[in-house]
Amino acid sequence: MLSRTADCLYWMARYTERAENTARMLDVNHQTSLLPQPAEFLEQSWKKLLTISKLEESFLEKYDVVTRENVLDFMIYETSNPSSIVSCLFAARENARVIRGRITSEAWETQNTTWLELQRILEARNQADPSRLLEWVKHRCHLFRGVMHGTMLKNEAFYFMNVGTLLERADNTARILETKYEDQATLKVLRTDKKVEADGADGDFFDFYHWAALLRSVSAFEIYRQIYSDQVTPKQVAQLLIFNKQMPRSLVSCVNELIPLISEVKNQQSKEIERLLGKLKANLDYSDIDEVFSQGLEEFIEEFLERINHIADEFSNAYLIPLAVA
C-alpha cells in the first residue's frame, strides 16, 4: 500500500474519532456547567478544556474572555481551529474522498452525508441546541464506525483505520479523565471559601452528577452500574477507564487492541512501535489503581499521554507521509 493511501485511511479514521471525542468532552462540560456551582469553578472548567487540548493560545487570539458560549463556538464551529468539530469532519471527508477506491461506497456515503448534513446545521447555528448537536456528532461517528466494521474487508486498509481510531481514542479518554479529575480537585479548593457555601452548591449532589456526566461522556455510566452497583467514586471511575479490559474506551483496552493490529501491518520499521507498545502494556498490566493514586492520577495520565503520542509519532514515521511533505 502507498504511504499516501495509508495516510488518508489513518487520518480519516482519526479525525472522525477526534470529532466524536471533542463532542464528548464538550458535552460533559456543557452538562456539568448547568449544575449549581461557583462562577470561579465554571470559568476554570472551560479554561481547562482549552488547556488540555493545547488550544488556549489560539482561542485567546480570537476571543477576549473564556465563557461557555465562546468555547463552544471555538470548539464546534471555528474553522481556524484544526481540532474543532467542523474542521475534523471536513478533514475526515476530504481524506475519504481522496481514497474512495480503497473504502466501500457505504463508508464514503456515510462521510459525505455527514458533511452535507452539517452544512444545513451551520446555516441555523444560532438556533442550534448544543446538546442536540453534540449528540448528532456522536451518532454520525458511531454510524461511520459501524459501517466500517460491517462492510470493509479485514485487510491493510481496515487495519490502518483501526490504528488511527485507537490511538485517538486512548489519547482522548486520558484527556477527559485528567480534565474532569482536575476540575473536581479545583472545586474542593473552592469549597473552602465561604462564598461557595453561600451560593448553595451541594457537594454530594454535585459530586455525583459530575462523575456521572464524565461516565456518560464515554458511554460508561450503565457499564459502571453493572460492575460496581454502588456509589460513583473517583477511584472506581478511574479504575474503569484505565484498567478494565472489557471497557471499549479504557486505556488498557485501546493498547491491547493496538498490539495485534501492528503485527498485521508489520514492516522493517515497526519493531520500535511493537517495543513501545509492549512496554506500555506491561506498565498497565502490572499497575493497579492504588498505585496510580499513590503516584498521582495527573502524573500517571501525563506519562501515558506522552508515551501514546510517542507511539503515534513512531507509527507516522514508519508508515505515513512525513508532516513536512504532507
- DSSP per residue, 69-128: HHHHHHHHT-TTSTTSHHHHHHHHHHHHHHTGGGS-HHHHHHHHHHHHHHHHHHHTGGG-
Higher pLDDT: 305 or 38? It is: 305
Nearest to 201 by CA among 40, 68, 38, 43: 38
Distance CA 180, CA 192 (A): 19
Q: Could you tell me the sign of the dihedral formed by the alpha carbons of 26, 27, 28, 34, in that order?
A: positive
Three cell numbers at 291?
498505585
Q: Which residue has the cell 473564556?
A: 66
Better pLDDT: 45 or 227:
227
Write down the pLDDT at residue 123: 86
Q: Which residue has the higher pLDDT, 118 or 183?
A: 118
pLDDT of residue 145: 95
Long-range contacts at 63-68 (CB < 8 A, ≥ 24 apart): 67/43, 68/29, 68/30, 68/33, 68/42
Instruction: Name the phi and psi angles at 105, rounded to 5.
Output: -60, -35
The residue that leads in pLDDT, 31 or 147, is 147
pLDDT in tens, 120-139: 988 887 777 888 899 999 99
For residues 102 and 264, give the distance between their C-alpha atoms in angstroms, rounded to a whole number.
17
pLDDT, tens only, 19-57:
999 998 888 888 777 776 667 777 777 888 888 788 888
Are 17 and 169 a contacting pair, CB within 8 Å? yes
Residue 206 banded pLDDT, cuts 50, 70, 90: low
* Alpha carbon of residue 191 to chain centroid: 29
CA atoms 179, 184, 185, 191: torsion sign: positive
Pick from 166-170, 310-314, 318-322: least confident: 318-322
pLDDT on residue 178: 82
Mean pLDDT (the chain, rounded):
86
| Banded pLDDT at 112 (limits 50, 70, 90) | very high
Neighbouring residues of 233: CB distance < 8 A, sequence distance ≥ 6 = 211
What was the pLDDT predicted at 117?
95
**288: confidence class by pLDDT, cuts 50, 70, 90:** very high
pLDDT at 201 over 60: no
Q: What is the pLDDT of residues 162-183, one digit of tens each?
A: 999 999 999 999 988 887 666 5
- Whether 226 has a pLDDT exceeding 70, the answer reads yes
By CB atoms closer than 10 A (0-12, 13-18, 19+), residue 294 is exposed
Question: Residue 326: its pLDDT value, please?
Answer: 42
% of the chain exceeding 70 in pLDDT: 88
What would the grid cell of residue 118 be? 452539517
DSSP assignment of 128-196 = --HHHHHHHHHHHHHHHHHHHHHHS-SSHHHHHHHHHHHHHHHHHHHHHHHHHHHHHHHHHHHTTSHHH
Q: Which of 239, 193, 234, 241 is nearest to 218 (CA)?
A: 241
Average pLDDT over residues 69-73: 91
Task: Write down the pTM of the prediction.
Answer: 0.88
pLDDT at 90: 97
Q: Is the pLDDT of residue 188 over 90?
A: no
Distance from C-alpha of 47 to C-alpha of 55, rounded to nearest angstrom: 10
Separation of alpha carbons 155 and 27, rounded Å: 34
Confidence at residue 207, expressed as pLDDT on a 0 to 100 scale: 67
